[in-house]
Amino acid sequence: MAQRLNNGEGSTLIPPQKAAGEQRSSMISASFNFINSIIGSGIIGLPYALNQAGLPLGLLLLIVVAFITDYSIILLIKGGNLSGTNSYQSLVQSTFGFPGFLILSVLQFLYPFIAMISYNITTGDTLTKVFQRIPGVGPDHILAERHFVILLSTVAFTLPLSLYRNIERLGKVSFLSMVLTLTILIIVIIRAATFGPQIVPTENAWAFAKWNAVQAAGIMSFAFICHHNSFLIYGSLQQPTLANWSRVTHVSVGSALIISAAFAVAGYTTFTGYTQGDIFENYCRNDNLATFGRFCFGLSIITTFPLECFVTREVLSNVICKRDLSKTEHVAMTLLIVAVCTSMSLAFDCLGVVLELNGVLSATPLIFIIPSACFLKLSTGRWYQGENLISAVLIFVGLFVMITGLIMTGLYPQDCSHGAEMFYCADANISATVPPE
């Protein structure tokens, strides 16, 4: 039976169900896993979010989304304590019964599943541009074929990493992803200083606010969501207490906010109104530094893919098997998930609108609504008192973002240039190499 939180923040909230002798994560390793979970492919869309909302308002929204993310993650674990549960699904089932369990399972499956598809698509689009900078690799070379690159990265990297049973073993991989992300950030900042002045800012580039701010909030929610990993990472801690979990959450979300804000500002100030959903689509093909950034980003999202696969597999196992998977079942389910994701990423080459919808319809309820609703129902006191009032406000804010964001996404869908060279690249002197044909 789960231990209730009645001895202060040093108490264990939910006794982790780990096999004897199984490795556990240190707080540092757990933080790397958490930061890596937050900073996935969604980070490259944050400059576009500032383009949608306006730079000042966009930064304010980013801070608000990060604060709500931090608060709701801790609220999620508190809800687990109040209900005596140790997973997001079991928490919602104990609170809202089978209908709630079913709705959450669908949302919690769809978000990481679509994220994995986007990771594969981004890997194919990004690394093909990198490979074409290799002498002798032209547009007709096999390394310039996105389908081959997706299959190669899946077989060589994402599938083997996804077969791990213990999330703690991904700590070092997550650290590598963090190093790659910081490298990408440095490249974007350098290009903001060296390439940005060559591009004339668009009209209203520095406007305080724009009409698509709610749509931008959906993109930010997609970029920041990590709740589907919360119980997994919490359960991997050596000492899973509320105090330790709060520290891991604050450090992880705070670090992700700093990195995300710097990336968003540097990317947007470089291209202003020309900023696209994938910021790397804005850089010229003959930009060697940007090519290195594409390479780092491709490796980074390859290392993030397994974290999402962990969650997808756990959701399916909870719905179908309702128990721990055997080794054979574990391998079979992992192969099925990766195979379906890979097949869909080979069939589609642009998920811009889908990702926005994923942020509005999946990420927003998982961040704003469900943790707050669970805590509000489980806690004592009236809805307008103390922490209950904050939870009630978050529910209304989440509903507003969902409804308005869905309408705005339909009215103003995200464009997908998909490899088209930007007009300013013709006269850009950013590389000593020969421009592409």
- Give the pLDDT band (50/70/90) at residue 154: very high
What are the distances in angstroms from CA 70 to CA 16, 25, 42?
A: 22, 20, 17
Nearest Cα residue to 219 out of 49, 431, 437: 49
- Give the pLDDT band (50/70/90) at residue 168: low
CA–CA distance, 93 with 105 (Å, rounded to integer): 10
Output the domain CATH number for residue 358.
Answer: 1.20.1740.10
**Global confidence as pTM:** 0.80
Indicate whether 432 belongs to any domain.
no
Percent with pLDDT over 90 in the chain: 28
Indicate whether 431 belongs to any domain.
no
User: What is the number of domains present in the chain?
Assistant: 1
Please tell me which residue, 35 or 249, carries the higher pLDDT value.
249
Give the residue-averaged pLDDT of 129-154. Answer: 88
Answer whether residue 12 shows pLDDT above 60. Answer: no
Indicate whether 264 belongs to any domain.
yes
Among the ranges given (44-48, 245-249, 359-363, 407-411), the one the predictor scored with the smallest mean pLDDT? 407-411
Mean pLDDT (the chain, rounded): 82
What six digits make up the tokens of 150? 């997706």
Compute, in degrees rounded to 10, the torsion defined by CA atoms 305, 308, 309, 310. 130
* pLDDT for the residue 431: 43
Indicate whether 284 belongs to any domain.
yes
Indicate whether 221 belongs to any domain.
yes
* pLDDT for the residue 418: 55
* pLDDT for the residue 9: 41
Answer whether residue 253 shows pLDDT above 90. Answer: yes
Indicate whether 5 belongs to any domain.
no
What is the tens place of the pLDDT at every residue in 99-120? Answer: 998 898 888 888 888 888 888 8
* pLDDT for the residue 152: 93
Q: Could you list the residue range(s) of the whole structural domain that residue 421 is in?
A: 27-426
Nearest Cα residue to 267 out of 351, 209, 186: 186
- Give the pLDDT band (50/70/90) at residue 155: very high
* pLDDT for the residue 3: 37
What is the tens place of the pLDDT at every residue in 328-359? Answer: 888 999 999 999 999 988 887 665 666 677 78
Indicate whether 184 belongs to any domain.
yes
What is the tens place of the pLDDT at every residue in 255-295? Answer: 999 999 999 999 999 999 999 878 888 898 889 999 999 99
Indicate whether 417 belongs to any domain.
yes
**Exposed/middle/buried for residue 53 (C-beta within 10 Å: 0-12, 13-18, 19+):** buried
Give the residue-averaged pLDDT of 86-96. Answer: 86
Nearest Cα residue to 230 out of 207, 208, 246: 246
- Phi and psi, residue 350, nearest 5°: -150, 115
What is the tens place of the pLDDT at every residue in 392-436? Answer: 999 999 999 889 888 887 777 666 655 567 888 875 554 433 333
